[in-house]
Amino acid sequence: MNKATQLRFISIREARKLRGAAAAWFHAKWGVPEAAYLECMDAYISGGTELGWYLCLDGDRIVGGLGVIENDFHERKDLTPNICAVYVEESHRRRGIAGRLLEMAVEDLRRKGVSPVYLLTDHTGFYERYGWEFLCHARGNGEEKPSRLYIHR
């Protein structure tokens, strides 16, 4: 069986039972408290917001994920919503997982009438491959140096 066929891409609404594991996984990657992830995920699951959380599973194991929140801890509060917490396990990189998750989130939001979408990063060259355009620099909360802010229209 082709390894790629084992990967599943889902929203947390499709796999509510994974919310605790997903919050723990994101916390381990980014250090943001699990409770903050759970609060955002619960709002999405309950329909309180359309800003969602998306996962890539290899079998039952989370190997990639990202979320959508109002603001990803930066000074440009007017640029919303923001993709956040993009992460793919090192063992699963270079398989297009991040690109597929980004596409999934952007398309899901677009179907709900939400566009454009923004993303704050220090990466150069990565997000452009997936249709993102550099918009401006923005300083993350507590950061001395500005990061790159991208837009997907």
Residue in the block written with tokens 């993709």: 83
Question: pTM value?
Answer: 0.92
When pLDDT is averaged across residues 41-59 and rounded to a whole number, the result is 97
- % residues pLDDT > 90 (the chain): 92
Domain assignments of the chain as residue spans, ordered by start: 3-114
Taking Cα atoms as reference points, which of 62, 71, 51, 68 lies closest to residue 26? Answer: 62
Q: How many CB atoms lie within 10 A of CB 78?
A: 7
Tell me the fold of 3-114.
Aminopeptidase (3.40.630)
For 107-137, the pLDDT digits (tens) are 999 999 999 999 999 999 999 999 999 999 9
Out of 3-17, 95-109, 114-128, which region has the weakest mean confidence (pLDDT)?
Answer: 3-17
